[in-house]
Structure 1
Amino acid sequence: MTPPPLLAAVAAALLLGACTTPPAPQDLPADRPVDLEADRRGDLPVDRPADFALEYGWTTGTIPPPYNHSRHLEITPSGAATYTAERRYVEDDPSTTVSFDLEAADLDRLYADLEAAGAFQSWTQEDNPPVGGGSWWLRMTAGGDVTEVPSFVVGDQYEVKNRVEAVLDGAIPPAAQAQIDAWLEGPGQ
């Protein structure tokens, strides 16, 4: 028995939609010129304001111990950064912090990538956000303006928020990420 054409079309669309992944930050947007030599020189297409800084928070939401945790990244205009992880429901060794410095070229790249991803727009908080799930938020300062990305945004902003998250995750040096991951998987679990 063959399924009705409409049912087959809907099933195919759902399968194809489930197979798509958001584009990587380096692919965004297509109209941004890619000049690797310029990136090495620090000549990026967007000038980073001197006060550029950000705070990025992420949480697993309400899941049971030992898996419930949160992370917080803070980057100052000088490039000094702290990356903190906190375990919830744990009395011994509840948090750890890794400090690192981003060079001016790294800050330039981060700002340009956030700009290209659409981070510096006006964001709208979802009217009825879900309760209990994982989430993340972002607060950026640039050129005297503060941009806040709420934990839950309206539907048409989710794709942009996913691109912004990929940029932020890429800004964390692998060694710092490895330290945090090792701590989260360590004895406090």
Structure 2
Amino acid sequence: MPTTILVISGSTRQARNGRGISDAIALGLSEDPEVVVDLADLAEISIPLDAEPWHPRMGQYQQPSTKAWSQRVTAADAVVLVTPEYNGGYPAGVKNALDALANEWVGKPFAVASYGARGGARAFKQISEIITNLGAELVEVEPGLRLSFGQGDMNEQMRLVDPAGFVARYSDAVRATGAELVARAGAESVSDLA
């Protein structure tokens, strides 16, 4: 049975590099015949801020958007969050998407692909703490998915010239992360049957 990996594109800016990076990572993960990728673009998904009357741990969602987000996360066997680093942190939309749910994240294998001038290291560190707090299983495979912009990667408008080529430099890390997510999701499925 294939492993479904939810790839979350975390940037919601109109002028953004995140979707191209997310598309390339999703394509790299889908090269594994045992993987089905579900790409969720937070710029296209409406998750209202604090719109629910009950704490997310109760799972008593009232808003259709929260219910749909919950179903999508629940259906995934593993997650890859693709996030930029903005001003030394991660975007508010990412925090909102994570905080909107609770039990759906518990025990789920979860990797972070951060990007920026220094590979989004500060955003990765902050999100890692949040993911651990949510009870998800942080998956970190060396050399990790810290995607650093280099000379010639960006045009005058601060847009990636070639998002697929940029991610291709990290293809070994994408494949290794995908394999580890599949392995951990499979181990989780076996333990569920026991």
Which TM-score bucket, shorter chain as reference? under 0.3
Higher helix residue share: 2
The TM-score with structure 1 as length reference comes to 0.26
The TM-score with structure 2 as length reference comes to 0.25
Larger radius of gyration: 1
Higher strand residue share: 1
